Amino acid sequence: MKMSDKRLRLRSLYEENERYHGTGGVSENNRSRGFIPAFLDTATGNAYPSRFANGKLAPIHLFDGLPDMLVKKSVVTGRTYALRDGLVSGFLLGRRFYTRAEAATVVRK
């Protein structure tokens, strides 16, 4: 699985959704197969399901419910604007993390 060290920003999520539009690499096209939007910390191998700020699982990739140690927040607004280096978006299926490309391939089969 190829990972990028590029810092994820909200804009990055929009661009990824555009790139994988119409494939299993987006939540709306893989949810019925049991995929859960998540983020992988490539430094530790830990995967974090996407959550709302209140802790409930989110149906799409959101930064709001991620642990503070994973996010970069604005000193002015206190809002999360990016994830720290080494995090990538993808999906959990069971305990396994899939990149968007991997999920697209699995759903295509």
Contact 37, 91 (CB under 8 A): yes
Residue 107's closest CA among 35, 1, 5, 24?
24
CA 14, 17, 19, 22 dihedral sign is negative
Residue 61's closest CA among 85, 23, 96, 28?
28
Per-residue pLDDT of the chain (109 residues; tens, 9 = 90+): 444 446 899 899 999 999 999 999 999 999 999 999 999 999 999 999 999 999 999 999 999 899 999 999 888 988 888 999 999 999 999 999 999 999 999 998 7
* Distance from chain centroid for Cα 48: 8
